């Protein structure tokens, strides 16, 4: 059997960043390179019912080897990495027996992963820490989840004496841009319940997530020679800044936690003549979520009245919703996961996801799907790291969940 570290290092060697500006499915063709490798590995370990479709979904089935009426249980992870930081030419650093001191990521830029800034590091003293080299993200989100599922599948195929019900496996593209299950066929997948292995810190289990929307605002200015601009110029850059300043400062991501929602500006481009500004809007509470969207509409309406001629054009659409509503009628899914985590010698951490997963959308597609930890921290950037032991425990929890459902 191949160890889980070697699997993870192989998977992160593939650049699989998704692209929110692309209209294709998957958004980047390079995701297929890793998906094809995963398909081949499943075949090599003896999983006969495994296939890759044109939309970038690998689906596989391991048949039950027991006569019990265990329901088919699925495990899902995504192969893409966030476009927020480069995922090309990742050069991981492996620090065995971590001693609790700052970790030098990059000598040239004097960049450190310092427990003074990231105190969670101290939870992993004595363990093996995998970091970046300070120039790319690591890809633990979600290739740690991919590796955990693949190792668990490999273990089951190598140990047919372990009794289990039907097991379903899926790897998806484009989760990081909110389109991970846009063309996912739940009936073809065939699971009654599923788990995404896409969480962070060891012990996490999540069945609540943000309600999510995206807002794009185009601002049409009017450029006039600045020497003669009085009462004539409309500076789209300043108008965009005015819009941003009308949104509540305390509802920005850097000032929120737990169940607090936010407006997050994700991009801005502009000249005097025209500008474009983009936000994501998040809240766990449905009522507060709708209030945030209404506020965005009211701000745009006010500015159009102020400047006239509909200079602000708003495009806003929902992305996904809080899975809690769909999971709570099936709390046995959560209860069995809690038992599986405890069986692995871990104290469960139950809290809301301050984000979203494929599981949120799948839950509304008829496949209740809470989220389990994969072990990483500081996702989407060069400070990302992964304790090896946490990823190993994720694989162990998968096996324990399978046993619970048996």
Distance CA 248, CA 156 (A): 51
Work out whether the CA dihedral 371, 13, 176, 280 comes out positive or negative: positive
385 backbone φψ class: left, alpha, beta (φ>0; ψ -120 to 50): beta
Q: Token digits for 271?
A: 């000249």
- Active-site residue, from 15, 141, 142, 175: 175
pLDDT, tens digit, for every residue of 135-156? 999 999 999 999 999 999 999 9
Q: What is the pLDDT of residue 353?
A: 87
Distance CA 367, CA 184 (A): 11
pLDDT, tens digit, for every residue of 155-171? 999 999 999 999 999 99
pLDDT surpasses 90 at 1: no
What is the pLDDT averaged over residues 102-107? Answer: 96
Q: What is the pLDDT of residue 67?
A: 86
337 backbone φψ class: left, alpha, beta (φ>0; ψ -120 to 50): alpha
- Record: fold of 211-320: Alpha-Beta Plaits (3.30.70)
Domain with CATH 3.40.630.10 in the chain: 4-208+322-405
pLDDT surpasses 90 at 178: no
Distance CA 223, CA 232 (A): 8
The DSSP annotation for 19-84 comes to: -TT--SSSS-TTHHHHHHHHHHHHHHTT--EEEE-TTS-EEEEE---SSS-PPPEEEEEE--B-TT
pLDDT, tens digit, for every residue of 230-265? 999 999 999 999 999 999 999 999 999 999 999 999
Distance CA 196, CA 181 (A): 12
What is the pLDDT averaged over residues 362-369? Answer: 95
Nearest to 197 by CA among 52, 79, 48, 346: 79
Mention every residue, 6+ apart, whose C-beta is less than 8 A from residue 185: 57
Residue 80 catalytic? yes
Domain with CATH 3.30.70.360 in the chain: 211-320
At 222, give phi and psi (nearest 5°). -145, 120
pLDDT band at 368 (very low <50, low <70, confident <90, very high): very high
- Active-site residue, from 15, 80, 141, 204: 80
* Residue 362 CA, distance from chain mean position: 14
pLDDT, tens digit, for every residue of 30-69? 999 999 999 999 999 999 999 999 999 999 999 999 988 9
CATH architecture for the domain at 4-208+322-405: 3-Layer(aba) Sandwich (3.40)
Distance CA 106, CA 91 (A): 11
pLDDT surpasses 90 at 186: yes
Cross-strand pairs, 81: 17
Q: Token digits for 69?
A: 């009426």
Q: What is the pLDDT of residue 187?
A: 96
């Amino acid at each position: 059997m191949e160890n889980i570290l070697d699997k993870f290092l192989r998977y992160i060697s593939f650049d699989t960043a998704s692209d929110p500006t692309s209209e294709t499915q998957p958004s980047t063709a390079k995701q297929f390179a890793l998906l094809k490798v995963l398909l081949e590995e499943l075949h090599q370990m003896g999983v006969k019912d495994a296939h890759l479709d044109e939309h970038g979904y690998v689906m596989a089935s391991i048949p039950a080897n027991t006569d019990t009426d265990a329901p088919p249980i699925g495990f899902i992870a995504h192969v893409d990495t966030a476009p927020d930081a480069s995922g090309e030419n990742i050069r991981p650093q492996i620090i065995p027996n971590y001693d609790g001191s700052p970790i030098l990521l990059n000598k040239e830029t004097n960049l450190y992963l310092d427990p003074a800034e990231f105190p969670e590091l101290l939870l992993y003293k004595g363990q093996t820490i995998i970091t970046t080299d300070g120039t790319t993200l690591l890809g633990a989100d979600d290739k740690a989840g991919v590796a955990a599922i693949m190792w668990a599948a490999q273990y089951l195929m190598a140990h047919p004496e372990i009794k289990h019900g039907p097991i379903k496996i899926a790897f998806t593209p484009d989760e990081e841009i909110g389109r991970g299950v846009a063309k996912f066929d739940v009936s073809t997948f065939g699971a009654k319940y599923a788990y995404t292995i896409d969480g962070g810190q060891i012990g996490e289990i999540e069945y609540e997530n943000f309600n999510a929307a995206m807002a794009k605002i185009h601002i049409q200015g009017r450029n006039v020679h600045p020497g003669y601009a009085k009462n004539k110029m409309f500076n789209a850059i300043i108008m965009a800044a005015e819009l941003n300043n009308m949104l509540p400062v305390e509802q920005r991501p850097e000032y929120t936690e737990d169940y607090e929602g936010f407006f997050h500006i994700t991009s801005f481009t502009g000249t005097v003549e025209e500008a474009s500004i983009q936000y994501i809007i998040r809240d766990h509470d449905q009522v507060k979520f709708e209030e945030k969207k209404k506020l965005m509409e009211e701000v745009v309406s006010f500015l159009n009245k102020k400047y006239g001629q509909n200079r602000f054009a708003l495009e806003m659409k929902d992305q996904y919703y809080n899975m809690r509503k769909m999971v709570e009628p099936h709390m046995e899914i959560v209860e069995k996961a809690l038992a599986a985590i405890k069986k692995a010698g871990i104290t469960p951490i139950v809290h809301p996801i301050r984000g979203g997963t494929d599981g949120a959308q799948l839950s509304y597609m008829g496949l209740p799907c809470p989220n389990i930890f994969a072990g990483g921290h500081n996702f989407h950037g060069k400070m990302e790291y992964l304790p090896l032991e946490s990823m190993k425990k994720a694989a162990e929890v998968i096996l324990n969940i399978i046993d619970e459902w048996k």
